[in-house]
Amino acid sequence: MKIDSEDFRVRPGKKVKLRAWPTSVKAFFSSKNHYRSLLEEHIQKLSLLQSMLYACDQNAVLLIFQAMDAAGKDGAIKHVMSGVNPQGCEVFSFKHPSAEELDHDFLWRTTQRLPERGRIGIFNRSYYEEVLIVRVHPEILRGERLPTRLLDDNAIWRERFRSILNLESHLHHNGTRIVKFFLHVSKEEQRKRFLRRIDEPDKNWKLSQTDIEERKFWDEYMKAYEDCLSATSTQHAPWYVVPADDKLNARLIISQVVVDTMASLKLSYPATTAERQKELQTIRKQLARA
């Protein structure tokens, strides 16, 4: 069964209700070997496209991953991007902002990490944290040293959405293609994965009491994600809601979306002009005499 990226894209202007979006869909693979074969096929295509992206040096690609804890962001990034040349790809994970970052606007720290032309940038969490976790935990917002007049509970989120939309529009019109993934995991599947982190010693380090405390805010997070996805999925910077209860299936969906996105750039290796051919023949003669 072919994966259609459009099945998972949030249409611009669509009011998102996450209860209507599945956390699990029928598997696109029939066995583990079939899964590996499909993922390898995607990785090979992605590797070729990334090579052409690097050679052309005109566009950049920014992949943004957001999700609840244990949804599989790290694994998806690791497996999907495994065939990409490290020289053409950078991954940044954004944790709690530093004192220096808090002295700037909320987009400052991520703007510094945007990919150069010819490269793929990956944000594991991103500036979207500022309309998600900060919205669920308003005490974080109060610690961001904003002028008191800007802390209106309703207006600030509209203004932040507008800032994000303006940034993404600016990036798009300057050659950066943006793709955003929300890995949609169910609360029950998250519970099972947390339990596995207890049962498997090599995963113990992945679980903390903070993770359990955050589960108490599940409904608040879902509401924040719904508003975020509804307000910021655009034609040039779409959100994809990826069913994430099956990690393998999620990786196939993500890799297909990335391949489709990069293919839409109509990439090719730079054409060799007559003047360049002449230069290369001159170099050949020099090498023949060396």
Q: CA-to-CA distance for 259 and 46, rounded, in angstroms?
A: 6
Model pLDDT for residues 15-42, shown as the tens digit of each residue: 999 999 999 999 999 999 999 999 999 9
Alpha carbon 74 to its chain centroid, in Å, reads 11
Model pLDDT for residues 113-126, shown as the tens digit of each residue: 999 999 999 999 99
Model pLDDT for residues 246-288, shown as the tens digit of each residue: 999 999 999 999 999 999 999 999 888 889 899 999 999 999 9
Question: In this predicted structure, what is the pLDDT of residue 289?
Answer: 87
Task: Check whether 149 has a pLDDT greater than 90.
Answer: no
Model pLDDT for residues 217-237, shown as the tens digit of each residue: 999 999 999 999 999 999 999
Question: In this predicted structure, what is the pLDDT of residue 5?
Answer: 96
**pLDDT above 90 as % of the chain:** 85
Q: Where are the beta strands (DSSP E) in the chain?
A: 60-67, 89-93, 120-124, 176-184, 239-243
Q: CA-to-CA distance for 136 and 162, rounded, in angstroms?
A: 19
Task: Give the CA angle between residues 15, 19, 23 to the nearest 5°.
Answer: 115
- 148 pLDDT tier (thresholds 50, 70, 90): confident
Question: In this predicted structure, what is the pLDDT of residue 143?
Answer: 87
Task: Check whether 202 has a pLDDT greater than 90.
Answer: yes
**Burial class of residue 115 (count of CB atoms within 10 Å of its CB; 0-12, 13-18, 19+):** buried
Q: Which domains does the chain have, with CATH numbers?
A: 5-289 (3.40.50.300)
Question: In this predicted structure, what is the pLDDT of residue 9?
Answer: 98
pTM, 2 dp:
0.94
In angstroms, the Cα distances linking 211 to 126, 208, 263 are 19, 5, 38
Q: Is the dihedral of CA 43, 48, 49, 50 positive or negative?
A: positive
- Answer whether 48's CB lies under 8 Å from 193's CB: no
Helix (H/G/I), strand (E/B), else coil: 179: strand
- Answer whether 115's CB lies under 8 Å from 84's CB: no
